[in-house]
Structures are given as C-alpha cells and as structure tokens.
Amino acid sequence: MKRLVILFLVYTVVFLPVQLAKADVSIKSEDVASIQINRTSGGTRTFNENDGIEEFVIRKVVEWINTSSPVKEATELDNTKTPISLLKIKMKNGNVATVVPAYDCHVQNQTKYCSLADGDVILDQNNQKIRLKSVQLFDWLLTGWKQENTKPPQDTKEMMVHDILMLFLGPEIDKAVSNYYSEYLTYSPLVYPYQIEIVNVERIGGFRTFDFSITLEITPVVGPHISVGKDRLTFEIAPTIIPGQIKLKKFEHLETHELPPHWQHIIKH
C-alpha cells in the first residue's frame, strides 16, 4: 500500500505539470458575443462582435489567446487577492471565460508575497484554469485596452481609390495566392483589401499612356485573420491585355509565418 502511495505521488509530481502544459486552448472568435475588461483601480470597456471595429479587437484578443504558450507553473490564484484586471469573454451560447494577469507568490517569515508574473496570464475556461505566456495579452490587460480606438476613421479620396483598385485587382490576387499556397496548405488563404500595401506604381509608356506596372505587398490570412506569410506581387495593367486587362508579372514569397497549433492541420506534409 505504501508503495502505491509513493508511485501515485511520483506520477502527480512528474506527469501532471506536463498535462497542464499541453492543455488545449482554443476559442473561436465567431463564437464570441462580447469581451469586457475591468480594472480594479477603475475603468471598464466592452467590445461587441456586432460592431465592425470592435469585432477586430475581439479577433485580436482571441488570436493572442489561441497563439499563447502554456506555462508549467501552478495555475492557482491567491484567493485573497483581487486581480489587477479582469477580462470576461462572453460566448454566444451563454458561457463565460475569464482572463487575468498571473501572479508569482512565495512565503517568507510566514507571510505570503505575490507579484505580477510578467507576460503570464491565467485563462479560466470550462472550469479549467490554464496559465499561458502571452506578452501582448498581458500588456493589453494592464493598459492596452485603454488605447483601443473604436471610432470610425475618416474616409478620404485616396482611401476610396485604393479600395476601388483592390476590388479590381482582388480576383487576380486571390488566384495568385491560391496557386502558390496550394503547394503547402490544404486551405486557401484570403487577402483583405486593408491587408494590401501599394509598394510601387509606374506608368510604363510615359506620361498619359495607359500601360501600368503596380507592385503590392500582401498578407494572406486563414480563419480569424491568422497570417500565413507575406508576399510581393507585380501586375501589369493595360487595355491591350486580354482578358481582364491585368497580368501577373512576378510573385515573390517574402515570409512564412508559423501557424498556431490548432491550425497546423492545414499544412501539407
């Protein structure tokens, strides 16, 4: 009997932290109705999924959670200590998950001292607490949420021309991206107009001719705007190009971005 107890204790000490570290963390941004952040010292904000700009904040926070790294340290909180900030994630099905900054505690002279664990947070989801490493989310919980600008930006003529041009080029961009990433992914990434930067534009034939070269840098994404890489595309636009007046001249893959664990399944092996 004594031997069984010892074996159980060894199993608990050695294997349990590993299981905690490998705990699955996955929240779908489309399942989130709202997030609410409260600071103990005062101040609160709510971001709702039915607002386009606020939805972007929700997607960003969820992505930080999903791409965070589990930490092996204990996930117990000091029950007598009120977290400096509390994030409530309200799901559309009525469930609520919370995220708070993590603390490191130690006892000295029978007194317990706790201090913020820089970069660590604790996610409480489905009655399971998981300690995670996410510097971005940690900083956001402390002060970043105050800086979120959810006022609609002022539209400009330049922005409208940019968006019209991206709509015009969109099908050719999607085709080029699909052709390249089909070699590596089972899921075709998307490119949104606001993730396209115009790097260079040239009028090939001289002043007031209509043969153009345009170079773009794009960031294709999957799911909740998880970037898979960065690419540079050069198109020729001219009335003599048939059909469509657009031709891809060059495709350069600049960067490959690592996918979070719950999106690794789309990688071709």
Q: Which domain does 67 fall in, by range?
A: 25-147
58 class by beta-carbon count within 10 Å (0-12 exposed, 13-18 middle, 19+ buried): buried
One DSSP character per residue, 37-73 reads EEETTS-EEEEETTSHHHHHHHHHHHHHHHT-EE--S
SS3 145: helix
CATH at residue 69: 3.30.1490.410
Q: How confident is the model at residue 20 (pLDDT cuts 50, 70, 90)?
A: very low
Cα 148 to the center of its chain, rounded Å:
15
Domain-ending residue, one of 117, 147, 177: 147
What's the rounded Cα separation, in Å, for the pair 200 and 220? Answer: 19
Per-residue model confidence (pLDDT) at position 5: 39
Secondary structure of residue 13 in the 3-state scheme: helix
For the chain, what is the mean pLDDT? 85
Number of domains in the chain: 2
Q: Which of 120, 147, 174 is the last residue of a domain?
A: 147
Beta bridge partners of 236: 213, 247
Classify residue 2: in a domain, yes or no: no
* Burial of 112 per CB tally in 10 Å (0-12, 13-18, 19+): exposed
Six-digit token string for 58: 């929700």
197 within a domain of the structure (yes/no): yes
* 11 part of a folded domain: no
Angle among Cα 193, 183, 199 to the nearest 5 degrees reads 35
CA distances for 212 relative to 117, 203, 207, angstroms: 54, 5, 11
Q: What pLDDT shows up at residue 206?
A: 87
Could you tell me if 135 and 88 are in contact, meaning their C-beta atoms sit under 8 angstroms apart?
no
Q: How confident is the model at residue 205 (pLDDT cuts 50, 70, 90)?
A: confident
Q: What is the pLDDT of residue 159?
A: 87
In DSSP notation, 203-261 reads ETTSTT---EEEEEEE--EETTTEE-EEEEEEEEE-TTSTTTTEEEEEEEEEEEPPPPG
- Mean pLDDT calculated for residue range 68-84: 68
Note whether 135 and 87 are same-domain residues. Answer: yes
Answer whether residue 3 is part of any domain.
no
Regarding whether 111 and 31 lie in a shared domain, the answer is: yes
Helix axes 135-142, 52-66, angle to 10 degrees: 130
Asked if residues 154 and 51 have their Cβ atoms less than 8 Å apart, the reply is no
11-20, 75-84, 162-171, range with the lowest pLDDT: 11-20
Residues 112-130: pLDDT tens digits?
788 888 899 999 998 899 9
pLDDT band at 6 (very low <50, low <70, confident <90, very high): very low
Quick one: what percent of the chain has pLDDT higher than 70? 87
- Using CA atoms, how far apart are residues 196 and 228, in angstroms rounded to an integer? 14
Q: What is the pLDDT of residue 81?
A: 63
Note the pLDDT tens digit of each residue in 222-262: 987 888 999 999 999 999 998 889 999 999 999 999 888 88
Give exposure, 77-86, as e/b (b: 16+ Cβ within 10 Å): beeeeebebb
